[in-house]
């Protein structure tokens, strides 16, 4: 007899606890993908219950399945409209929890808008945010005269021709440890805009699709979108590569270009102990 699949949004009928799944304290670690279009970012807004966020919806679903509230830690607090393929979340586990069954139950409730791509039990000291070694974001641009309605939800359409060689040259100086004040919104008093970038490159997928990949130990608020918005000005020949390099030294957000739209950005991967989290 086939397994009954619950209707979307209904409480799945699964047994989540199994004595063979481990009987000590642990953290549940989940790799989550989501379409961020209809969400006001990831971070839960407990003082604004009518604001729909990825973290709030996900925590509510997990809490309904486990029958108790959960507090999620996440690797990257994505902004409104930003997507994820490799977001990582964690929360304390009760003994004996079967992560695969929880993964299936959550995805049945929330998919396809939010899906859990993988789940496992991690050591009790694991924290999705503080244990991460690096994060990788991807920004995708459709650079053609005519927009693509099938890609529009996840890409930025730039109709003007972009100089790919200039884009690549301008992206190179980011690698290393720098003050990214020219590309970050002002954070709380006492916060720093120093960040260490491990990789910064453009990939030509063909057919006018350009992909910017940036990997860093951490990012500041809207950093990737500010970088992309300014890089596009270089690609349009509105700035020179030398002008762009001087922006790092300027440490002045008003000197850089506009913030690129959120829908072209995705959190792609997070690494722990040098290993990418979850299936790629």
Q: Check residue 100 and give its pLDDT.
A: 93
Q: Check residue 160 and give its pLDDT.
A: 97
Q: Check residue 95 and give its pLDDT.
A: 78
Catalytic residues: 79
Q: Check residue 153 and give its pLDDT.
A: 96
Token pair in block for residue 99? 């992560």
- In this structure, the strands spanning 83-93 and 73-74 are antiparallel
Q: Which residue has the tokens 């002045």?
A: 252
Give the integer Cα–Cα distance in Å for 248 and 234: 15
Q: Check residue 4 and give its pLDDT.
A: 41
Residues of the chain with confidence (pLDDT) below 50: 1-14, 19-21
SS (H, E, C) the chain: CCCCCCCCCCCCCCCCECHHHCCCCEEEEEEEEECCCCCCCCCCCCCCCCCCCHHHHHHHHHHHHHCCCCCCEECCCCCCCCEEEEEEEEEEECCCECHHHHHHHHHHHHCCCEEEEEEEEECCCCCCCCCCCEEEEEEEEECCCCCCCCCHHHCEECCCCCCHHHHHHHHHHHCEEEECHHHCCCCCCCCCCEEEEEEEEEEEEECCEEEEEEEECCCCCCHHHHHHHHHHHHHCCCCCHHHHHHHHHHCCHHHCCCCCCHHHEEEEEEEECCEECCCC
Tell me the per-residue pLDDT of 115-167, one tens digit each, with 9 for 90 and over.
999 999 999 999 999 999 999 999 999 999 999 999 999 999 999 999 999 99
Q: Check residue 98 and give its pLDDT.
A: 93
Q: Check residue 25 and give its pLDDT.
A: 73
Q: Check residue 69 and give its pLDDT.
A: 92
Q: Check residue 185 and give its pLDDT.
A: 82
């Amino acid at each position: 007899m086939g397994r009954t699949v619950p209707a979307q949004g209904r409480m799945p009928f699964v047994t989540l606890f199994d004595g063979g799944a481990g009987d000590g304290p642990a953290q549940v670690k989940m790799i989550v993908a989501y379409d961020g279009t209809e969400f006001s970012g990831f971070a839960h807004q407990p003082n604004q219950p009518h604001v729909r966020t990825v973290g709030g919806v996900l925590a509510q679903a997990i809490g309904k399945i486990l029958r108790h509230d959960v507090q999620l830690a996440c690797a990257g607090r994505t902004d409104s409209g930003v997507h994820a393929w490799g977001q990582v979340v964690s929360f304390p586990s009760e003994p004996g929890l079967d992560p695969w069954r929880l993964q299936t139950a959550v995805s049945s409730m929330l998919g396809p808008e939010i899906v859990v791509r993988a789940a496992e039990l991690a050591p009790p000291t694991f924290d999705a945010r503080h244990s991460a070694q690096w994060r990788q974001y991807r920004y995708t641009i459709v650079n053609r005269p005519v927009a693509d309605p099938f890609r529009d939800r996840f890409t930025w359409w730039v109709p003007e021709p972009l100089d790919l060689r200039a884009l690549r040259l301008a992206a190179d100086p980011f690698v290393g440890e720098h003050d990214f004040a020219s590309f970050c919104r002002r954070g709380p008093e006492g916060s720093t805009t120093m960040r260490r970038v491990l990789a910064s490159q453009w990939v030509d997928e063909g057919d006018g699709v350009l992909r910017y990949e940036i990997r860093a130990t951490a990012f500041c608020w809207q950093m990737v979108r500010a970088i992309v918005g300014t890089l596009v000005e270089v690609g349009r020949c509105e700035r020179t590569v030398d002008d762009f390099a001087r922006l790092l030294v300027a440490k002045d957000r008003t000197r850089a270009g506009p913030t690129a739209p959120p829908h072209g950005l995705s959190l792609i991967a997070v690494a722990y102990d040098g290993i990418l989290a979850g299936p790629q």
